[in-house]
Amino acid sequence: MTTLFTHIGLLAGTRDAQELLRGHQLAQLPSMEDAYLLVEDEQIADYGFMYELPLKIPQLPKNTIDLQGRFVLPCWCDSHTHLVFAGSRENEFIYKLQGLSYAEIAAKGGGILNSAKKLNETSEEELLQQSETRLQQLSELGTGAIEIKSGYGLSVESELKMLRVIKQLKQRSKLSIKASFLGAHTYPEIFKNDHAGYIKMIIEEMLPVIAAEKLADYIDVFCETGFFSPAETEQLCKAGAAYGLRPKLHVNQLNSIGGIQTGIAANALSLDHLETLTAEEIQLLGKFDGCSTLLPTAAFFLRMAYQPARALIDANAAVVLASDYNPGSSPSGNMNLVNAISCIQMKMFPEEVINASTLNGAYAMDLQNEVGSITNGKNANLIITKPIPSLAYLFYSFGLIHIEKVMIRGNWV
Ligand code: NIG
Ligand code: FE
């Protein structure tokens, strides 16, 4: 199947090179005004300026679509989500509005353990169905590649259930999907006073099965006060590395306890959250080879200070934006909102947020050769906008839907 798009007002993110963008490189978004784009089957086959079209494609294919000035962007690459979860937790949201603290909500059975309880009671089929519905919603909002974590199972059986659901999503979906094993999300009730026992179970009982069934691409740990210490994080990263799982870690969400230093030493692909950073840590991230992934909707929902995006960019960090879609701290996986908040609250520029949410997001999932920019041979993952006056308008006019159509691997969503 061949589709030709003509009269594209702006074709954004036309980039052949697949390098991770750092610091001020993020402000460069190669684009073409008045362009065409050719899709053959699942891939981008050609693109260029309209004036080149008669020479490049003299015979227009039957399926030629005149976009009349609409913009085309590569689909969002959301490199940090917890999309597989059971039910929802809006009762905790109401508690929070009533003024209850995190600890009080936890005492009422809230938090990660609440999601774990719900997930335990939900069958694999039901979990798959709920997750597939969410994935469909996100694809309509322009997400074409996604990372999904386990971490609401917290037992051998339920962690495997979550990862098997992700594996089924991989097989059934047109989106590119990566799985991260987050057994170390919190301690289940029965290991409340035996942290070493739970870590032993992760290493000796979960990891070998996950590796044998190829259920994960990465390992994740919630490195935080009251959760997993830097030493425990290091131990878990080493255990994951023995099975070829590179770390993508939750660090510095609430406290700066050494997660960044641990992650860098463990050759992490990405260090995520980063709400709480010291000046030295910002400099460390500037020199870190991997990705610094910011999750502004989690800061928004928890009413925390936003991540210091500008300071990170000035320090030359490879900033990535992701949704953290989960039932507790970011019950939205809308990357358009992530991007608008990043502009409005973190003072990132439209070009920077698009790079951070596309090519850099792809990089944070090792998918940079497949998705994240407009180039020949990459997946035809395209956002077609409604008529809009400029790129900036997408984020300035926040909360409204500016997407008209989404194509993922050459198929309309
Ligand atoms: O990434 N911080 C750790 N985990 C999730 C939230 C977990 C939850 O409340 O369900 C996050 O924000
Ligand atoms: Fe998260």
pLDDT along the chain (413 residues), means of 10: 97 90 98 98 98 97 98 98 97 94 84 96 98 98 98 98 98 98 97 97 98 98 96 98 98 97 98 98 98 98 96 98 97 98 98 98 98 98 98 98 98 98
Q: Whose CA is nearest to atom 8 of ligand 1?
A: 328
Q: Which residues contact 44 (CB under 8 A, 6 or more apart)?
A: 37, 38, 374, 375, 376, 377, 378, 379, 380
Residue 103's pLDDT is 78
Nearest atom in ligand 1 to 115's CA: 10
Which atom of ligand 1 is the closest one to the Cα of 224?
2
How many angstroms from the chain centroid is the CA of residue 386?
24
The per-residue pLDDT for 106 is 81
Q: Is 247 in the pocket of ligand 1 (CB under 6 A)?
A: no
Residues 379/408, Cβ–Cβ less than 8 Å: yes
User: Ligand 1 mean position to 186 CA, how many Å?
Assistant: 10
The CB of 115 under 6 Å from ligand 1? The reply is yes
Query: Ligand 1 pocket, 151 CB below 6 A?
Result: no
Burial class (CB in 10 A: 0-12, 13-18, 19+), 390: exposed
Asked if residue 71 has its Cβ within 6 Å of ligand 1, the reply is no
Nearest to 76 by CA among 380, 357, 360: 357
Ramachandran sector of residue 63 (left: φ over 0; alpha: ψ -120 to 50; beta: rest): beta
Domain spans, the chain: 2-75+373-412, 77-363
Tokens of 157: 């059986």
pLDDT at 16: 84
CA angle (227, 230, 232) in 5-degree steps:
70
Residue 18's pLDDT is what?
Answer: 74
**In ligand 1, which atom is closest to the CA atom of 328?**
9
Q: Of 216, 212, 352, which is closest to residue 294 (Cα–Cα)?
A: 352
Phi, psi of 193 (to 5 degrees): -110, 15
Instruction: Report the predicted TM-score, pTM, of the whole model to 2 decimal places.
Output: 0.98
Closest residue to atom 12 of ligand 1, CA basis: 329
2-75+373-412: CATH topology is Urease, subunit C; domain 1 (2.30.40)
Q: Given the DSSP bridges, would you call strands 71-74 and 2-12 parallel, antiparallel or unpaired?
A: parallel
User: Is any atom of ligand 1 closer than 6 Å to the C-beta of 166?
Assistant: no
CB of 328 closer than 6 A to ligand 1?
Answer: yes
**Nearest ligand to the C-alpha atom of residue 151:** 1
Q: Is the dihedral of CA 270, 350, 298, 162 positive or negative?
A: negative
User: Measured in angstroms, how far is the CA atom of residue 9 from the centroid of ligand 2?
Assistant: 36
What's the pLDDT score for residue 107? 82
107 vs 36: CA distance, rounded Å = 57
CATH architecture label of 77-363: Alpha-Beta Barrel (3.20)
Q: Is any ligand 1 atom within 6 A of the Cβ of residue 323?
A: no
Nearest CA to ligand 1 atom 10: 328
DSSP state of 51: G
- The predicted-structure confidence for 197-253, as pLDDT tens digits, reads as follows 999 999 999 999 999 999 999 999 999 999 999 999 999 999 999 999 999 999 999
Say which residues have a Cβ less than 8 Å from residue 175's Cβ, sequence separation at least 6: 135, 139, 143, 144, 145, 146, 408
Q: How far is the CA of 151 from the centre of ligand 1 (A)?
A: 9
128 Cβ contact partners less than 8 Å away, ≥ 6 residues apart: 165, 168, 169
